[in-house]
Amino acid sequence: MFIAFNYVNAQTEIFKDNGSWFTLTNKIKVSEKLYITNVTQQRRVGFLKNTQAFLIAPSINYKISKNVSVGAGYMHYTYFPYGVIPTPIQKEETRFFQDLVLSSTLGNVKLSNRFRFEERVIELVNTNVNPNEIDGEKHANRFRYRIQATANLVKLKNDTYIMGRLSNEIRIRFETGISEPDFDQNNFAALLGYKLLPNSTVWLGYGRYYF
């Protein structure tokens, strides 16, 4: 579920949309400390009707210690003209990002704290011409903090588990440089997971994303 708020003349308009996100995450171990990841995601609205966005985000990561890792990556993000507040035409965004991840355990719960800083290059749409067209780009920065908790919930007969995961991420945008911070999004997700193979896990859950 996606919820967006638009402020007009001191009044608040609330737009709601339902969608589905399909995500494939790959991790390739290069050495004991170095690994490569890639995230591919399709975001659909109208539940499954139209593709609203598609992204691919490879990154390279290094484990400084057992509980601390750093990384850097690139994301290509495509917006499609679907949803309750759609972009007028298809447009592209390029992001460069840097991560710091702190991991810990609390009992049988694995905790992960991810700090991410993004540099974004977003295409601008000129709506004063017909048909609309891409006319330049803007630059923006954003800080993201995600806390995630994962635990085994139910043990099955074949010594595998149904796992549970709670995740919440807040995003703060910066209009100019790193000044003028402003709230951008809060993304919450609750998921159930099952390990299909030693190196493969499937997750299914519910997300609420507030813009």
Longest dimension (CA), the chain: 63
For residue 130, pLDDT over 70 is answered with yes
For residue 207, pLDDT over 70 is answered with yes
DSSP 202: E
Q: How confident is the model at residue 176 (pLDDT cuts 50, 70, 90)?
A: low
Q: Once rounded to an integer, what is the mean pLDDT over residues 77-97?
A: 95
Kind and range of the H or E run holding 32: none
For residue 174, pLDDT over 60 is answered with yes
For residue 148, pLDDT over 90 is answered with yes
Q: How confident is the model at residue 10 (pLDDT cuts 50, 70, 90)?
A: low
Q: Strand pairing of 200-210 and 2-8? A: parallel
For residue 3, pLDDT over 70 is answered with no
- 141 touches 172 (CB < 8 A): no
Q: In what order do the strands lie in the sheet with 50-65?
A: 11-17, 2-8, 200-210, 179-197, 161-176, 133-155, 109-126, 91-106, 68-79, 50-65, 34-45, 19-29
Mean pLDDT of the chain: 91
Say what the pLDDT of residue 1 is. Answer: 47
For residue 153, pLDDT over 70 is answered with yes
Say what the pLDDT of residue 2 is. Answer: 45
Say what the pLDDT of residue 84 is. Answer: 87
Q: Once rounded to an integer, what is the mean pLDDT over residues 127-151?
A: 95
Q: What percent of the chain has pLDDT over 70?
A: 93
Q: Once rounded to an integer, what is the mean pLDDT over residues 136-164?
A: 94
CA atoms within 13 A on the CB side of 53: 19
For residue 178, pLDDT over 60 is answered with yes
Single-letter code of the amino acid located at 73: G
HEC readout, 40-69: EEEEEECCCCEEEEEEEEEEEEEEEECCEE
For residue 24, pLDDT over 50 is answered with yes
Give the list of residues 6+ apart from residue 63 with CB closer than 8 angstroms, or none: 32, 33, 34, 35, 69
Encoded tokens for 87: 């972009």
For residue 51, pLDDT over 70 is answered with yes
Residue 105 to residues 55, 155, 169, Cα–Cα distance (Å): 31, 19, 19
